């Protein structure tokens, strides 16, 4: 993809700013009116045992409580009147909320139009202390449901906008970053977005086209990641497929109204999913062929984000196909978590990658994400399985349902297993995704333990520097013993000598971290009990310029002791060996003098 320079770049940036302004204003209005709806209309309708949604046919009900169902209210009923007052054309949740606020008394009369077209008038009792009552759609207390919806669900689209604006601000001349910036904005423009202003003449077909275009653009950008080149046949195949699918999406414009069979839309969605899979294959193949360095770390972040999104989508699809979501709090939290992961996994990975922010934290981030993801799935499975088993056993042996007791015992079992499962999954994830760091923590002490008995100080220092540099991804490394350089890697001798001349070693215990030092921001004191401080391990920043994370700092603190002991033992051994060689030399010299004197005496006689 060509770089965005000159007039071409100016045009692209102008179009982007226009689209960003429209999208930001739209999402800001959506979030504002959703918050108003959740804080005012939702408690008013929840007091009567239902929730309202607005679509093209008007406001309808769902999430019914048992009391509302007993009164005769059915799912998808359309509200046409409240307290005898007819709703006007184009009524929304806000009109319903205002009518409910005006209706006084312990019960409210509402008129609904059912699916068959018949109208019925129902009398619904109004509950008190509504914020403490469980929400029918989630099983959570209403106040907690509203809080989680506003804090998590409603923040996904604003996050995509912020990610897009950040890419524009930092990488506006990079075509790869700008394609993602456009894609994030277009994905935000989804069907049903303007429910809060139904009079606005924006069709769902137009919003659907924007949504599809955003995903196609993101797949093209993934296939060309990270430098905008379609370097493989997979990448070029994604580009060709994207063009064909984008053109086909226009042929499906308003297709349902024109009678296009539903199987055509299903096939199109399947082709779109296959395009995403092909883009993922392209970037994974690019990752496997890229040598170690910042570019490989960039791709690793993108692959990690793609895997998080793909895994969440697979779980969602499988669950919906084989075990539809329930209404309880466990299902609600699991569904909310999975949908949030699916929506934000890829954008977060791409954002970090394109901004080159702490690229070398990818291993730790992926390791923790996998560990917590597997732990969450395992605990949910344990809870659901144990609850079901307890219910079955209760019915079989006690002849009655266990009810809340089964859920409590299942939750207790899951709580007991949290700690051992967390340790097991964390260790597995570290071994799988942080191999270099684990090798440094566990392998280096064993290595220096072997070398200290036979190798020279220079050999030990060189082995330590090489292993540490690989383990924490240091750009440069040096090992200083008693003021002398024992080993150095990727740093000029003169530059190192100048730095050592101006450096004053810290006297405090622990790591000496000076993040502003461009040459050696990390200084690890090599000291151990009984040996004292024998030297320093000096490390440069990581190749992307970032400082070391918590895992790396902990590993460096762990290996300082065995390195210090190995150096102390090597120096003592070399000192004894030097003294021994000196004595041998003196004895050989003395023997030579005696032999010389003996020879002289024999000649004299």
pLDDT in tens, 170-204: 888 888 888 989 999 999 988 877 766 766 777 77
pLDDT score for 83: 82
Domain residue ranges in the chain = 15-151, 358-433, 436-563
More confident residue, 320 or 484: 484
Give the Cα separation of 12 and 15 in Å (integer). 5
Q: At what angle do helices 404-433 and 362-397 cross, to 10 degrees?
A: 150
What average pLDDT does range 392-417 have in this prediction?
66
- Map tokens 């072997």 to a residue: 450
- Predicted confidence at residue 14, as pLDDT, reads 92
CB atoms within 10 A of CB 314: 12
In the predicted structure, residue 366 carries a pLDDT above the cut 70: no
pLDDT of residue 554 exceeding 80, the answer is yes
**157, 207, 147, 148: which is closest to 28 by C-alpha?**
157
Residue 303 is predicted with a pLDDT of 78
> What mean pLDDT comes out for the span 113-123?
83
pLDDT at res. 542: 83
Output the pLDDT for position 213.
Answer: 92
330-339 average pLDDT score: 80
Q: What is the rounded average pLDDT of the residues 351-359?
A: 64
| Summary mean pLDDT of the chain | 81
Fold topology of 436-563: Beta-Lactamase (3.30.450)
CATH class of 15-151: mainly beta
Q: Give the chain's end-to-end CA distance (angstroms, integer).
A: 100
At 95-107, the pLDDT tens digits run 888 888 888 888 8
Tell me what pLDDT residue 266 has: 82
pLDDT at 125 over 70: yes
Q: Which of 458, 460, 509, 514 is nearest to 485 (CA)?
A: 458
Per-residue model confidence (pLDDT) at position 24: 93
pTM of the model: 0.66
Asked if the domains 15-151 and 436-563 are classified in one and the same CATH topology, the answer is: no
- Asked whether the beta carbons of 543 and 296 are under 8 A apart, the reply is no
Tell me what percent of the residues of the chain surpass a pLDDT of 90. Answer: 8
Question: What separation in angstroms does the CA of 466 have from each of 93, 379, 444, 463, 480?
Answer: 65, 41, 10, 5, 14
Longest dimension (CA), the chain: 146
For tokens 């730095």, what's the residue?
A: 499
Q: Please spell the DSSP secondary structure of 305-316, one letter per residue.
A: HHHHHHHHHHHH
pLDDT of 439 reads: 82
Neighbours of 475 (CB within 10 A): 17
At residue 534, the 3 state secondary structure works out as strand
């Amino acid at each position: 993809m060509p770089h965005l320079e000159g007039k071409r770049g100016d045009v692209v940036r102008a179009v982007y700013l226009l689209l960003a302004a429209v999208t930001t204003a739209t999402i800001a209005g959506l979030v504002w009116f959703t918050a108003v709806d959740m804080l005012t209309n939702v408690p008013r309708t929840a007091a009567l045992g239902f929730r309202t949604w607005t679509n093209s046919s008007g406001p309808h009900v769902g999430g019914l409580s048992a009391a509302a169902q007993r009164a005769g209210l059915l799912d998808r009923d359309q509200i046409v009147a409240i307290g005898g007052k007819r709703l006007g054309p184009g009524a929304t949740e806000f009109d319903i909320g205002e009518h409910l606020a005006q209706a006084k008394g312990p019960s409210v009369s509402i008129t609904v139009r059912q699916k068959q077209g018949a109208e019925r008038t129902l009398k619904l009792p109004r509950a008190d202390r509504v914020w403490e009552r469980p929400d029918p759609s989630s099983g959570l207390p209403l106040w907690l449901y509203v809080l989680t919806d506003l804090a998590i669900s409603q923040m996904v689209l604003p996050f995509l906008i912020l990610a897009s604006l950040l890419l524009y601000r930092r990488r506006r001349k990079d075509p790869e970053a700008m394609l993602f910036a456009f894609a994030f904005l277009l994905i935000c423009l989804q069907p049903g977005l303007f429910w809060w202003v139904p009079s606005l003449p924006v069709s769902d077909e137009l919003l659907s086209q924007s949504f599809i275009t955003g995903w196609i653009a993101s797949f093209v950008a993934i296939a060309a990641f990270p430098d905008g080149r379609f370097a493989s046949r997979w990448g070029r195949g994604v580009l060709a497929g994207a063009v064909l699918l984008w053109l086909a999406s226009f042929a499906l414009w308003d297709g349902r109204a024109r009678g296009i069979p539903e199987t055509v839309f299903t096939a199109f969605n399947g082709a779109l999913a296959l395009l995403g899979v092909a883009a993922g294959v392209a970037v994974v193949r690019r990752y496997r062929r890229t040598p170690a360095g910042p570019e490989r770390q960039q791709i690793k972040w993108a692959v990690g984000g793609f895997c998080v999104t793909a895994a969440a989508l697979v779980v969602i699809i499988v669950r919906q196909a084989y075990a539809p979501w329930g209404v309880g709090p466990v299902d609600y939290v699991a569904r909310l978590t999975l949908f949030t992961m699916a929506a934000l996994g890829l954008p977060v990975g791409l954002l970090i990658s394109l901004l080159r922010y702490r690229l070398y934290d990818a291993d730790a981030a992926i390791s923790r994400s996998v560990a917590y993801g597997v732990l969450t799935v395992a605990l949910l499975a344990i809870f659901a399985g144990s609850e079901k088993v307890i219910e079955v056993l209760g019915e079989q042996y006690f002849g009655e349902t266990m009810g809340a007791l089964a859920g409590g015992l299942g939750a207790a079992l899951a709580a007991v297993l949290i700690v051992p499962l967390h340790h097991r999954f964390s260790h597995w994830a570290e071994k799988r995704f942080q191999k270099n760091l684990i090798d440094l923590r566990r392998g280096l002490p064993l290595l220096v333990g072997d070398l200290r008995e036979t190798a020279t100080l220079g050999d030990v220092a060189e082995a330590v520097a090489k292993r540490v540099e690989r383990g924490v991804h240091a750009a440069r490394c040096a090992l200083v013993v008693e003021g002398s350089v024992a080993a150095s890697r990727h740093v000029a001798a003169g530059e190192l000598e100048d730095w050592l001349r101006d450096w004053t070693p810290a006297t405090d215990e622990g790591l000496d971290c000076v993040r502003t030092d461009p040459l050696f921001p990390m200084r690890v004191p090599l000291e151990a009990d009984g040996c004292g401080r024998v030297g320093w391990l000096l490390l440069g920043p990581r190749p992307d310029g970032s400082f070391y994370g918590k895992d790396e700092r902990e590993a460096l603190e762990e290996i300082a002791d065995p390195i210090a002991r190995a150096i102390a033992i090597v120096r003592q051994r070399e000192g004894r060996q030097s003294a021994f060689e000196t004595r041998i030399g003196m004895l050989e010299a003395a023997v030579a003098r005696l032999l010389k004197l003996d020879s002289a005496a024999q000649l004299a006689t």
